[in-house]
Structure 1
Amino acid sequence: MQNVLVVKLSAIGDVIHALPVSYAIKETYPEARLTWVVEPPAYNILQGNPYIDELIVFEKKKFKSLGGFLANYGPFCDKLRQHKYDAALDLQGLFKSAAIAWSSKAALKLGTCNMRELSDKVSSPVIGAHANGHIVERYLDVARALGCRVDKVVFPVVISADDAKLARSYLYVAGCKGDIPYVVLAVGANWPNKRWPVKYFARLSDWIYSRGLLPVIVGGGALDEQLAEDISRLAEIPPVNMVGKTNLKQLAYVMREAKAVVGGDTGPVHLAAGMGTPTVMFMGPTDANRNGPYGQLENAVEVPRECRYCWKRACPKGLDCLAKIMPEMIEEKLARYLR
């Protein structure tokens, strides 16, 4: 195996789940050249990965118009085909990733067990031993089909000294001074029904303060900024606000150094779990068996509703999905790590 292409474009959480594939390939084929195609939002988390030789950025927005496609397809393919691939692994399983796998002209094209949008017509779906298990293991089944041994599961996230230094300075400026331990609260999520009520975050924040630790809110974008403001307004003591202060690598440092991380089924929370930080995840529309905190499924708190696991972005019943997960349920999971 001389050249391997991995196509995993987005979202950030999905790219994080696929990270162990890079380690598995290089452990089995250390001389192989590994190229990874990714979209811009998740690019940063792959930078510096010692098991990836080349990153190719796919900017989907440039291909949306006919003129954009005609202008960009040729240069993209030229870059993609600089190497003759022995295998392409389509871990996205969508039309756009299938088009990239097909354009690579790889001799062998493999995909995951749940291919969509006719991507299974380009890459052969791998129905492995973990087809009904965690998504990390489903991705690794594709690597196993390539002949990779998976002796251990490693999430390669390289945090530079500069990013660590900047993250520490951002924490200090935001209010984390001295050696007081802290708990990260990841308050945002792309799906509305993956967001925990702000009043519960406020109560949890006060509980964390009562245990002698600092609650630190993280996130990005205008919505998360508003959520942080609402939580601060409802809490007895405003938590430390780090929303929008870091890039992904700096955020990784913040979470790696935390006593624990709390949040929903989102990229930053999966990043924390991958790095081994104690991670408590509240879940409603998605299930822990597939998407829970990897290696820590006992820390998943699933909503006590019969309609959970609906995989809907917004509740068709108009319910506040996660409102039945009370702060005390999260505190019970956290308590063991905060002693």
Structure 2
Amino acid sequence: MTYKNILIVKLSAIGDVIHALPVARALKQTYPDARITWVVEKPAYDLLTNNPDIDEIIIFDKPKFKSLTGLLSNGYTFSKLLKSHKFDLAIDLQGLFKSAAISYLSGAPKRLVYCNARELSDKIGQRICGNHEHGHVVDRYLDVAQHLGCKIDQVQFPMNITEVEVQKAEAIANHAGLRLENPYVVLAPGTNWPSKCWPTTHFAKLADQLYDNNMIPVIIGGPNDKRLAEEIIANTKIPPVDLIGKTSLKQLAHIIKKSQAFVGGDTGPMHLAVAVGTRVVTMFGPTDPNRNGPYGENHSILTPDVPCICCWKRQCIKTPMCLETLNPDLVYQSIYSKLEMKVGS
């Protein structure tokens, strides 16, 4: 069957949207004449712009739909917009009630959802179970593409960083004291779960070790990570470069792309590093790296030796928390083993 108008519903978060990018590439390669539209929430919108595999982006402004009044005043208009595209296929990669509702409101006669869908979303779309049901999220999404006849020769994360965004990123870095032609390592202390955060004191020690080996540590993250950056800086001999809250996602992607390595936990910027081809050293404890870890090879995944690993708990009541047991020396060695560089004394 040939599809002419395809809707992808993947709303958030940053890492999840990055995981779904290979689906757009696979669909466009298999159905080059198809028009592909993606519905996404505002925080991840920037990841999809200027993408040759995506013909249109529709923003789902979630705050407008949270109240009954908002739903009644905005629902009809949004549904009318979706139906005007005359989609013949809708792919719900979010697998939640809100994404299923969008898939349904699109009017597409064929609606697909992966078989691990929740919140009754599997009642609205056809459940697709492939060979990677218990594998990495990227491969699960691609199971849906393969169901549609897509041949996956190479998994690609298409992301177009324009020259304007490159220039802005370099200007921001220069203003903060970083020249991108110098060797540096990106540190991402923030995550959306407290249990996934590596201690700031560990990041501080790692930053000192990097400086001792002529490598500049650069802290990145959103505005909510400012406190973490301040704690790291307060515990270092030489303050790292602080880029917290100073870049857009595409600007951050360029800065990560130019770095020697990325260090952080299970967080969106870690998956951004994978997408732009940067080596990752990541610390996993409460979540499963087989499902959510950095996709592909040439990355280092460090996990603590504890019986409660992969507990999937946002908060940890144990002392010390599992990630605290991963000491900075181990992370430092992992960075340089991936870079195939001699570790300084």
Q: Shorter chain as normaliser: what TM range? A: over 0.9
2:111 to 94, 109, 112: 109
1:160 to 158, 162, 165: 162
Q: Does 1:144 align with 2:146?
A: yes
The one-letter code matched in structure 2 to 1:71 is S
> Where does residue 171 of structure 1 map in the other structure?
173
Aligned positions of 1:25-40 closer than 5 A:
25-40=27-42
The one-letter code matched in structure 1 to 2:10 is K
Q: CA deviation at 1:163?
A: 0.9
List per-residue Cα deviations over 1:39-69 (Å, max 9, x = no partner).
Answer: 1110011111110011111111111112111
Distance 1:316 1:125, change over 3 A: farther
CA contact (8 A) 2:115 2:122 kept: no
How far apart, in 2, do the equivalents of 1:65 and 1:178 lie? 45
How far apart, in 2, do the equivalents of 1:302 and 1:227 lie? 22
1:189 partner SS: coil
2:217 partner SS: strand
CA contact (8 A) 2:279 2:299 kept: no
How far apart, in 2, do the equivalents of 1:120 and 1:163 lie? 39
Q: Does 1:77 align with 2:79?
A: yes
How far apart, in 1, do the equivalents of 2:230 and 2:115 lie? 42
> Where does residue 300 of structure 2 map in the other structure?
299
Q: CA deviation at 1:227?
A: 0.7
Q: CA deviation at 1:321?
A: 3.1
Q: Does 1:65 align with 2:67?
A: yes
2:95 partner SS: coil
> Where does residue 278 of structure 1 map in the other structure?
279
Structure 1 segments (4+ residues) deviating >6 Å? none
Q: CA deviation at 1:319?
A: 4.8
List per-residue Cα deviations over 1:260-303 (Å, max 9, x = no partner).
Answer: 00001111110101211001111111111111111137511112
Q: CA deviation at 1:213?
A: 1.1
CA contact (8 A) 1:304 1:325 kept: no
> Where does residue 225 of structure 1 map in the other structure?
226
List per-residue Cα deviations over 1:151-195 (Å, max 9, x = no partner).
Answer: 111101111111111111111111113732110001101100111
1:131 partner SS: coil
Distance 1:338 1:215, change over 3 A: farther
2:115 partner SS: coil
2:216 to 178, 189, 214: 214
CA contact (8 A) 1:218 1:244 kept: yes
**TM-score, length-scaled by structure 2:** 0.95
How far apart, in 1, do the equivalents of 2:73 and 2:319 lie? 44
Distance 1:331 1:114, change over 3 A: same
CA contact (8 A) 2:170 2:180 kept: no
1:184 partner SS: strand
CA contact (8 A) 2:88 2:109 kept: yes
How far apart, in 2, do the equivalents of 1:177 and 1:144 lie? 43
The one-letter code matched in structure 1 to 2:66 is K
Q: CA deviation at 1:316?
A: 4.6
> Where does residue 309 of structure 1 map in the other structure?
310
The one-letter code matched in structure 2 to 1:256 is K
User: Higher mean Cα deviation, 161-170 or 324-333?
Assistant: 324-333
CA contact (8 A) 2:180 2:258 kept: no
1:201 partner SS: helix
List per-residue Cα deviations over 1:8-48 (Å, max 9, x = no partner).
Answer: 00111101111111100001000001010001110011111
> Where does residue 335 of structure 1 map in the other structure?
336
The one-letter code matched in structure 1 to 2:302 is V
How far apart, in 2, do the equivalents of 1:234 and 1:113 lie? 47
RMSD, matched Cα: 1.3
2:150 partner SS: coil
Aligned residues: 338
The one-letter code matched in structure 1 to 2:179 is K
Percent sequence identity is 51
1:193 to 192, 195, 204: 195
> Where does residue 123 of structure 2 map in the other structure?
121
How far apart, in 1, do the equivalents of 2:37 and 2:319 lie? 43
> Where does residue 245 of structure 1 map in the other structure?
246
2:203 partner SS: helix
2:36 partner SS: strand
The one-letter code matched in structure 1 to 2:230 is E
1:183 partner SS: strand
> Structure 2: where are the runs of 5+ without partners?
none
CA contact (8 A) 2:180 2:255 kept: no
User: Higher mean Cα deviation, 24-33 or 324-333?
Assistant: 324-333
List per-residue Cα deviations over 1:108-136 (Å, max 9, x = no partner).
Answer: 11111310000010112211011111100
How far apart, in 1, do the equivalents of 2:174 and 2:336 lie? 25
Distance 1:143 1:118, change over 3 A: same
